[in-house]
Amino acid sequence: MAGARQHEGTSLVLASSMCVGLLFGGLAIGVAVGGMMPLPYGPGAAIQHYVRDQPVALRIIAVAAFGSSAPLAIYAAAASARLRRLGAPAAAATIALTGGTLAAGALGLTGLLGWTLSRPEISGDGALVQALYVLSFLVGGPAHIVALGLLVAGIAVPGVLPRSLSRVGLAIAGVAELAIPVLVWPPLGPILPVARVAALVWLVVAGARLPLAGDDSTAGT
């Protein structure tokens, strides 16, 4: 019984760490192989040049993003179930599950779009490359980060975490929702990586601090 509780307590940390490791590890390797990816709202020629000349780097990043979606989905399901057992409001657990599912789906889709872009029969069509590249950015950028903010908010709101950690989570969730104005004003783009990194790191910490069902620990410390 104790072993089962210990496994349950470490599953969130393991899932979130796997997500972070795959996503950022794949990105780091891809950048090392092919350099920085061009901005989606930059010159179209730069995008087409990158997609045509760096298919290996693009595929590495795409596969890593797709792979990271599975542990994120597991985290969302496990965190939602844990919140329900802790007596959190049903709305909070549902928001966490919905946000995490959407965030994981967005990561998976952006990975598949990136993999498609790496195919040689696609990279020769300039208009198609531009469209898929921008779509991949929208799905893996604003869409993923807004949904990630919902996952963070759903876990932070119920009061089952230490107050300081909950407050940081709510602040991060608020920043994540600022990904929406990026669609209107692209210069706000730096918000995206800041919100992504902060949210994913917070999920790792929250996974370690979220009490197990039946714990006597308090969240008010």
Q: CB–CB of 72/105 below 8 Å?
A: no
Radius of gyration of the chain (CA): 18
Confidence (pTM): 0.90
Instruction: Give me the pLDDT at residue 213, please.
Output: 61
Residue with tokens 């919100």: 195
Distance between alpha carbon 87 and the CA centroid of its chain, in Å? 26
Determine the 3-state secondary structure of 5 from DSSP: helix
Neighbours of 169 (CB within 10 A): 25
Q: What is the length of the chain?
A: 221
Q: What is the DSSP letter of 141?
A: I
pLDDT means per 10 residues, the chain with 221 residues, are 47 95 97 93 89 96 97 96 92 97 98 95 90 95 97 94 96 96 90 96 95 54 44
Q: Which residues contact 84 (CB under 8 A, 6 or more apart)?
A: 90, 93
Residue with tokens 């908010």: 153
Instruction: Give me the pLDDT at residue 8, please.
Output: 52
Q: What are the domain boundaries of the chain?
A: 10-209
144-156 vs 55-85: helix crossing angle, rounded to 10: 20
